[in-house]
Amino acid sequence: MAKVILTGATGFVGKALAESLIKSGHEVIALVRTVSTALNPSIKQIQFDLTKIDRLNIKSFDTGAILIHAAARAHVMHDSSIDPLFEYRKVNRDATIELAKLASRSGARRFIYLSSIKVNGEQTTCGGVCKAEDLPTPKDAYGISKYEAEQGLLEIAANTRLEVVIIRPPLVYGPGVKGNFYSMMQVVKKGFPLPLGAVNNERSLVALDNLIDLIITCIDHPAAASQVFLASDGEDLSTTELLRGVAKAAGVSSRLIPVPVSVLMFMASLLGKKEIAQRILGSLQVDISKTRDLLGWTPPLTVEEGLRRCFVRNA
């Protein structure tokens, strides 16, 4: 088994990934801003700051180690910083590239980067799907910073012996999920009626356990080197279907009112919520055929099971 150095180990994805790595027999070293008692005690924790990578002891990286970079400045809907792109670039681009350079100098074997489907863009239209080989079209500061980090990593891989693997997930859900997905779960669970019973869009999601399974697959798979992979459950849902699935997982009846999408968009525009409405009502489909074909990977969990697991820890 490999020695795995993991950033973002205290986050939603990172914490679950760290546990799975330990269960799989890997030795895990977590690079953390603050030492956490919530992590498995068998995980060695090293304090570090993403913006001060030059202070990180190079001895942390043994020859042949695998580095999984899951830490990032997270995407927020309404960024209040004066220059959001500068702030995102500082952490998501510059720190990522410096970390990869350090890993390369120390003899690390592979660098697995958790990127974002926002590199591809915000929406798909007219039955289109996002593919790994598509020309990236990031629209916001977060997506731009992730894309620029990818470019820097691929350049390092082309000029050193460090193998780079890039994974772009869409929205990740699962036990411990927070943010808008958690809020949606609570609204559905409490039985509030929602005017979303006639939304016929198509959106790809990825269950936490499916994403973790893909990341672990990429640790040793020879075909993963220098590749960009998209992740999803392989089952696209409309917003209406998702809400019904969440209600079923919560053991309640869905209360969805079939309001036309055109009316919803009009009302959202009047309220200044057009961006939010586009995320709820628009489509974003992900094609994982490359991931399946090159890696022989199939998402182990169905959407139904993934949604059910959301309520195990969030009950």
Active site residues: 142
CA nearest neighbour of 65 among 16, 100, 19: 100
Instruction: Collapse the DSSP code of 203 into the 3-class scheme (helix H, G, I; strand E, B; otherwise coil) and give the result.
Output: strand
CA dihedral 161, 299, 242, 228 (to 10 degrees): 20
Q: In the chain, what's the furthest Cα-to-Cα distance?
A: 59
What gap in Å lies between CA 85 and CA 81, rounded to an integer? 9
Instruction: Collapse the DSSP code of 181 into the 3-class scheme (helix H, G, I; strand E, B; otherwise coil) and give the result.
Output: helix
What gap in Å lies between CA 38 and CA 48, rounded to an integer? 17
* Residue 282 CB partners (closer than 8 Å, separation 6+): 122, 123, 201
Instruction: Collapse the DSSP code of 186 into the 3-class scheme (helix H, G, I; strand E, B; otherwise coil) and give the result.
Output: helix
